[in-house]
Every structure is written in C-alpha cells, then in structure tokens.
Amino acid sequence: MSNEALETEIKKLIVEALMLDDVEAGSIETDAPLFVDGLGLDSIDALELAIAIDKKYGVKIKAEDENTREIFRNVKNLAAHVASVQ
C-alpha cells in the first residue's frame, strides 16, 4: 500500500474511531497537527485512536514510548509509523 493510500485510510479511521461526525476525512490535512491546533484531539482521543490502529493494523503504540508524541503529531507521521512497523 502506498503512503498516500495509507494516509487516506488513517484519515477515515480517525473520523470513524473518534466519531467525528462534523469532520470529513478528506478535509483532514496530512501535515496538520492532530492535537490542540489542528483537529483539537486530546489524550482520550489518542488512546482511542491507538486502540483503533492496533485493531486495524496490528500496530501497538504505547503511551510511555518516547516517540509517541511525534508519531501522533500528524497523519503523515502516523502513516509512516504504521508502514514501518508492518
């Protein structure tokens, strides 16, 4: 799967897993921050998203991992991490 396809899939997963009814997956910018400024997600959203990624891709992202903040920075980083682990 190409990175672009994976990024699109992850955008859809974010909308579905977090029940963001007022957000279109296509409107999520790949490089935009997911937390605070961008989508405005919080730590609970991060936990739910980590669970959804584990279920869909079998990739575990642990909260205590020192790279977690960078992995969750944006869709691009999240897709790159999933691709590198698979």
The predicted-structure confidence for 47-65, as pLDDT tens digits, reads as follows: 999 999 999 999 999 888 8
User: Residue 39 belongs to a domain with what CATH number?
Assistant: 1.10.1200.10
The domain in which residue 54 lies consists of 3-85
pLDDT in the model for residue 73: 95
Q: Distance between CA atoms of 71 and 67, rounded to whole angstroms?
A: 6
Q: Cβ-count burial of 74 within 10 angstroms (0-12 exposed, 13-18 middle, 19+ buried)?
A: buried
Tally the domains of the chain.
1
37 pLDDT band (50/70/90 cuts)? confident
- pTM: predicted TM-score of the whole model, two decimal places: 0.91
